[in-house]
């Protein structure tokens, strides 16, 4: 049991951690300058949302997970899953759908979870190849 087990997206946080540890090479996402600016803004918004809550365990999970995760993209996905209880719905989208939704909605969770969706798709490709 870990300090984030009680959070709604605990299973998804665990999946991000496992994936980023077992396949760190797929967690890099080519970022355009426009996407990079949107991602940075979303990351900062999620970080502030986590830090502004008085859910001490959620803050601890974000910091513990950030140390464990190998890439900034994994930390962003974890922050989104902690800060936004409904964020897991984006993990069911394809990366193309999520990229478009992230641009149209400017939802920080959608933007932060894009690298996770891309990594999961790449993992699936590696496993089926």
In tens, the pLDDT along 9-62 reads 999 999 999 988 888 777 765 555 555 667 677 777 777 777 665 556 666 665
Exposure of 122 in the CB half-sphere (CA atoms within 13 A): 16
In the numeric block, the tokens 């077992």 are attached to 22
DSSP 8-class letter at 93: S
Give the pLDDT of residue 11. Answer: 95
Give the pLDDT of residue 32. Answer: 53
Q: Tell me how far apart the alpha carbons of residues 98 and 80 are, in angstroms, rounded to a whole number.
A: 14
Give the pLDDT of residue 128. Answer: 86
In the numeric block, the tokens 């996402």 are attached to 29
Give the pLDDT of residue 52. Answer: 60
Query: Could you write out the DSSP letters of every residue in 48-72?
Result: HHHHHSS-HHHHHHHHHHHHH-SSH
Q: Tell me how far apart the alpha carbons of residues 54 and 78 are, in angstroms, rounded to a whole number.
A: 18
Residues 73-113 pLDDT 10s: 888 899 999 999 999 999 999 999 999 999 999 899 999 99
């Amino acid at each position: 049991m870990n300090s984030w087990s009680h959070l709604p997206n605990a299973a998804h946080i665990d999946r991000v951690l496992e994936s980023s540890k077992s396949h760190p090479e797929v967690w890099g996402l080519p970022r355009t300058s426009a996407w990079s600016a949107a991602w940075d803004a979303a990351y900062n918004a999620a970080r502030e949302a986590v830090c502004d809550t008085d859910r001490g365990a959620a803050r601890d999970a974000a910091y513990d997970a950030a140390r464990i995760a190998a890439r900034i993209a994994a930390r962003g996905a974890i922050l989104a899953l902690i800060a936004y209880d409904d964020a897991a719905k984006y993990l069911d989208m394809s990366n193309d759908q999520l990229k478009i939704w992230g641009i149209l909605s400017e939802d920080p969770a959608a933007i932060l979870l894009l690298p996770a969706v891309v990594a999961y798709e790449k993992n699936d490709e590696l496993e089926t190849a």
